[in-house]
Amino acid sequence: MKLTKHAHACVSLEKDGDRLVIDPGTFTPDAAEAVAQADAVLVTHEHFDHFDEDLVAAALDARPELQVYGTAAVAEALGGRAGRVHTVAAGDSFTVGSLGVTVHGHRHAPVHADIPCPDNVGYLVGDGAVYHPGDAYFVPEASVRTLLLPTSGPWTKLSEAADYVRAVKPERVLQIHELMLSDLGQQSTARILGEDGLTGTPIENVAVGSALQL
């Protein structure tokens, strides 16, 4: 499977010519291009940095073959679109061509008691190959080879991120949701959490636009 890193929380995954994109939000400048190349869009929750509603709606109108998967709030925002917008929750599974996907987790991580926590799901793609948790440190009851680790935002915390990596026990960790950190901040986070830090697992900083084989 090939993973392409886009800005912030957005990644594309491709296998055998089948391609999906997760969390094309307004913080991702090339989100439109990523969506245009995808067979399906997966959205973890409705926050704008993960879900560009206008972009995804326009793509659905332009491409009758496009499928979208997301929480109830995402599905409500987009409408049914002739059955091409699918509401998913923890325990669900589906396929995008050769890519199998299972759904995990329930809620967004808390920011503050005064700020509501929306539903948030994580997607485990390719029989444990890669897990995108959205905005939560939810530990799936499945083995994870590559964990996409959110490292910046009003809900993130280094100590919780360290415990999360320890609990998931992935073979590989890629930093995502890092846009609010400077280059120095990203390097510092990787050092604190990484192989010689709190988790013993290397934290990889992947440049936007780069592709990796998983």
From first to last of the 214 residues of the chain, give the pLDDT tens digit: 999 999 999 999 999 999 999 999 999 999 999 999 999 999 999 999 999 999 999 999 999 999 999 999 999 999 978 899 999 999 999 999 999 999 999 999 999 999 999 999 999 999 889 999 999 999 999 999 999 999 999 999 999 999 999 999 999 999 999 999 999 999 999 999 999 999 999 999 999 999 999 9
Phi, psi of 42 (to 5 degrees): -115, 130
Number of domains in the chain: 1
CB 193 within 8 A of CB 125: no
DSSP one-letter code for 167 = H
Give pLDDT, residue 145: 97
CA distances from 161 to 67, 112, 211 (A): 32, 18, 24
As a whole number of angstroms, the distance between CA 124 and CA 142 comes to: 9
How many other CB atoms are there within 10 angstroms of residue 164's CB atom? 21
Q: Where are the beta strands (DSSP E) in the chain?
A: 2-5, 11-15, 18-22, 40-42, 67-70, 85-87, 93-96, 99-104, 122-125, 130-132, 146-150, 172-176, 203-204, 211-213
Q: Identify any residues that bridge with 204 across adjacent strands, giving them in sequence order.
A: 174
Which residues span the domain enclosing 89? 2-213
Give pLDDT, residue 80: 79
Start-to-end CA span in the chain (Å): 5
The reported pTM is 0.97
Instruction: Say which CATH number the domain at 114 has.
Output: 3.60.15.10
Phi, psi of 138 (to 5 degrees): -85, 130
What does the radius of gyration of the chain's CA atoms come to, in whole angstroms?
16
What single-letter amino acid sits at 77? A
Q: How many helices (H) and strands (E) does the chain have?
A: 5, 14
Going by DSSP bridges, is the β-strand pair 172-176/203-204 parallel, antiparallel, or unpaired? parallel
| DSSP H or E run through 58 | helix 53-62
Q: Let me know if 18 is exposed, middle or buried by CB neighbors in 10 A (0-12, 13-18, 19+).
A: middle
